[in-house]
Structure 1
Amino acid sequence: MDTIYDWLDAKGIPYDNKELIEVALTHSSYVNEHKHAQCDNERLEFMGDAVLQIWTSKKLFLMQPPLDEGKMTTLRAQLVCEEALAAYNRKLGLAAYLKLGVGEEKTGGRNRDSILADMFEALLGAIYLDQGLEPINTLLEEVITPTIRSPKSERVIDYKTKLQEYVQSDSRKTVHYEVVNVTGPSNKPLFEVIVKLEDITLGKGIGYSKKRAEQQAAKDAFEKMVK
């Protein structure tokens, strides 16, 4: 299909705000190289992540026979991890519409899990803001529902959730994450993240995406706290 709008039409997904759709497709490397592109898809990725969490949580909650809380938590982590989101992107053929900078394109960014996962979430965010949950349901039923009952590795652990649950078992406080350093080339930045409880640093992590770095920081904190 020639454009993202041809793709949306073929899926039966309505749209009114083309500007939102275009931003969802725009990686930061493209913005750096094109003055007319004013913003990348990171804010929409934030929105899409929230939509994905609530959709997946509701889907798992309504499953029969009912799943216990631990199983739902594990399954949700597996269904929305970076690797899974990139796989959904590839299955849907969305990478063809991704706007990348030349350097990122040359180094394989169009097939990089972190970029594909972020783009998928950003597009969900754009569709939700433009049209609400109904078209989101259509899209996620296609890619997530068939995978829910398929065998999955137990290696996917959502340490952010585990850490928050551990902290809240002793208090009503919430941890938060901060990016403290970014190194490496612009087409493959390495993020350093800390996780804090109020003013206390609990753990540190690094990764080639903010999400991976946050998970590593949460893992570092969780393993220290349960010793």
Structure 2
Amino acid sequence: MNRNETGHRDPGVIEERIGYTFKDRSLLERALTRLAYTLEAGSPPDAHMDALATLGDAVINVAVVEAVIAEGAHEKGAISNRKMNLVNMTRLRGLAEDLVLADYVRWGKGEAAQRVWTSGRVLAECLEALVGAVYLDGGMEAAAGVLRRLGLTESV
């Protein structure tokens, strides 16, 4: 099992799976670090994924709307309905599960004990953070490319 010096799985595997190599590897590390972990580790206050998840959520919405329009949708209602069908917690969580993303996230001890990634929105947020990190590192084109490769916007 590819583990790095901290005992966590090597996040380079995630880069391979999403087809994107980070120029600034610290963004990938941040995207894979939960707030609870940073608090327990005494890490800097900006070393966790929360802001990246918020950014990633917005980036995903923009990428999906662009793809829907590019496929010929022109009416606001049709665009909104298609976006809602493509971007939801279940879909994003499924993409995160396909990446086996939970194995690469730095979880807080309580989160790990409770296996928080097995329910709710947690894995979807981790995927959003990853997309936010790609956006900051490579821009909208890079983020949209990752979403295409993951199958979110491949055939809207």
- TM-score range relative to shorter protein: 0.7 to 0.9
What residue is the counterpart of 1:109 in the other structure?
Answer: 116
Matched AA of 2:139: G
Q: Which residue among 40, 46, 61 is the counterpart of 2:48?
A: 40
Matched AA of 2:48: D
* Bigger RCO (CA 8 Å, 6+ sep): 2
Q: Secondary structure in 1 aligned to 2:22? A: coil
Matched AA of 1:129: L
Matched AA of 2:11: I
Q: Which residue among 34, 37, 61 is the counterpart of 1:30?
A: 37
Q: CA deviation at 1:52?
A: 0.8
Question: Which of the pair is proportionally richer in helix?
Answer: 2
1:97-154 CA-to-partner distances (Å, cap 9, x unmatched) read 1111111111121323311111111111111111112332222113213574xxxxxx
Larger radius of gyration between Structure 1 and Structure 2: 1
Q: Which runs of no fewer than 5 residues in structure 1 stay unpaired?
A: 149-227
Conserved in 2, the CA contact under 8 Å of 1:95 and 1:111? no
Q: TM-score, normalised to structure 2's length?
A: 0.83
Q: CA deviation at 1:33?
A: 1.5
Matched AA of 1:112: S
1:144-159, aligned counterparts within 5 Å? 144-145=152-153, 148=156
Q: CA deviation at 1:13?
A: 0.9
Q: TM-score, normalised to structure 1's length?
A: 0.59
Aligned length: 147
1:73-222, aligned counterparts within 5 Å? 73-142=80-149, 143-145=151-153, 148=156
Matched AA of 2:64: T
- Mapped partners of 1:147, 1:28: distance in 2: 34
- Mapped partners of 1:24, 1:94: distance in 2: 11
- Mapped partners of 1:139, 1:94: distance in 2: 14
Q: CA deviation at 1:37?
A: 5.3
Q: Deviation above 4 Å: which 4+ runs of structure 1?
A: none
Matched AA of 1:111: T
- Report the aligned-residue RMSD: 2.0
